[in-house]
Amino acid sequence: MLIALFTILLLGGGGGSGILDFIADTQDTVKVVVEKDDRRKEMLGTLKAMKKRANAHGKVLRRSSRDLNRVLADDEVTEAAIDTIWYRYFAQREVYNREMLDLRFQLRDQMTREEWEQVFGEDS
Amino acid sequence: MRPSSRFRQCVLFLAIILSVTIGCAGKDDIAPIDVEKQAFADLREDIREVIEDPARADEAIKLVGVLQEDLAALRRSVAERRSRIAELNADYDTSRADFEAFLQRIEAEVGANRRRASESHLALLATVTAEERSALAKTRTRAMKATIRTMQAI
C-alpha cells in the first residue's frame, strides 16, 4: 500500500488521464450540435487525434507508475533513481500539454462561438 | 408446474433481487473517505504489529500520517485543477497564454509535492528495516486495496 500511494503522490495523481483528456470525450456532443458536413468531419478528426494523444499519454503514465513502484520497492533505492523516472515522465507530460493545447486551439478555430458554448458551456 | 411451486420460485427470485439490491446499496453507502480512514487505521495497526520497537513504530506512524494528509491535499488539488481547466476551456476567448500559465502552476505544485513525497519516503526507509517493510508489504486489507484503487483514479 505504501509504495502504491507514494507513487501516486510522486506523479501528482494516479489516474490514467491527462488534464485535457476530457475535451476529446465530446465527439457525441459535437455530432448533436453540428450539422453533418465537411466542417463537422474536420472537428471529429481533431477530436480523434486528441483521443489518440490522450491514450498515448495514459500509457506513459501507467509505465511511469510501474517503473516507480519497482524502484520504490528496492531496498537500495536512491533519490537519483526516483528523479530519473520523474523527470522523464514530466518531460513527456510537457509534450502532452503542448500538443493537446495545439489540438484544442485547432478545434476552437474549427467551431463557431455558439457551437463551442453548446459543446463546452455550463449547460452542455 | 404446480401453482405453489411457481409461487415459491417467484418469492425466491424476488428475495435474490432484494438481497442483491440491499447488498449493493450497503457497499455504496461507505464513502471513499471512510474507506481511506479505515485503510490507514489498518496500516497503523500493521505497523504496531510488525515493528516491535515502540519508538520506531511511533516514528513510522507519524510519517504515515504525513502521507495521509498529503494524499488528501492531492485529492483536493486535482479536483480544483479539473474544475478550473474546464472553466478555462469553456470560455471561447481564453488565450493560450492563460492556459499555459495555469498548466505551469500545476507543474510547479506537482514538483513541490514530489520533493515532499520523496523526503517522506526516504525518511520511512530510514525508520523501517527491510524485513519490516517486506512484512508490511504483504498485508493488504480490503480497505487498503479499495483506497489504492480510488487514489489511482484521481
| Tens digits of pLDDT across chain A (124 residues) | 888 888 988 888 766 678 999 999 999 999 999 999 999 999 999 999 999 999 999 999 999 999 999 998 888 888 899 999 999 999 999 999 999 999 999 999 999 999 999 999 977 6
What average pLDDT does the structure give for chain B? 83
| Greatest mean pLDDT range, A7-11, B79-83, B86-90 | B86-90
How many angstroms away from the CA of A36 is the closest CA of chain B?
A: 22
Task: Examine the predicted complex and report whether its ipTM is higher than 0.85.
Answer: yes
> What is the distance between the alpha carbons of residues A48 and A53, in angstroms, rounded to a whole number?
9
Q: Looking at per-residue confidence, does B152 or A32 come out higher?
A: A32
When divided into structural domains, chain A yields a total of: 1
User: What are the grid coordinates assigned to A20, written together?
Assistant: 485535457
CA distances from B102 to A19, A20, A35, B86 (A): 11, 12, 33, 12
Nearest C-alpha in B relative to A82:
B118
- Residue B154: the pLDDT is 76
Q: Provide the 10 A C-beta neighbour count for residue A57.
A: 23
User: What are the grid coordinates assigned to B51, written together?
Assistant: 515493528
> What is the distance between the alpha carbons of residues A69 and B121, in angstroms, rounded to a whole number?
12
Radius of gyration, CA atoms only, chain B:
24
Is the pLDDT score of B8 beyond 70? no
User: What are the grid coordinates assigned to B1, written together?
Assistant: 408446474
Nearest C-alpha in A relative to B115:
A10
Q: Does B121 contact A6 at a Cβ distance shorter than 8 Å?
A: yes
**pLDDT bracket for residue B54 (50, 70, 90):** very high
Q: Does A6 contact B67 at a Cβ distance shorter than 8 Å?
A: yes
Q: Kindly list the residues from chain A whose CB atom is less than 8 angstroms away from the CB atom of residue B92.
A: 108, 113, 116-117
User: What are the grid coordinates assigned to B41, written together?
Assistant: 487505521
* Domain, as residue range, for A6: 2-120
How many angstroms away from the CA of A112 is the closest CA of chain B?
A: 9
Candidate from B117, B124, B125 with C-beta closest to A9: B117
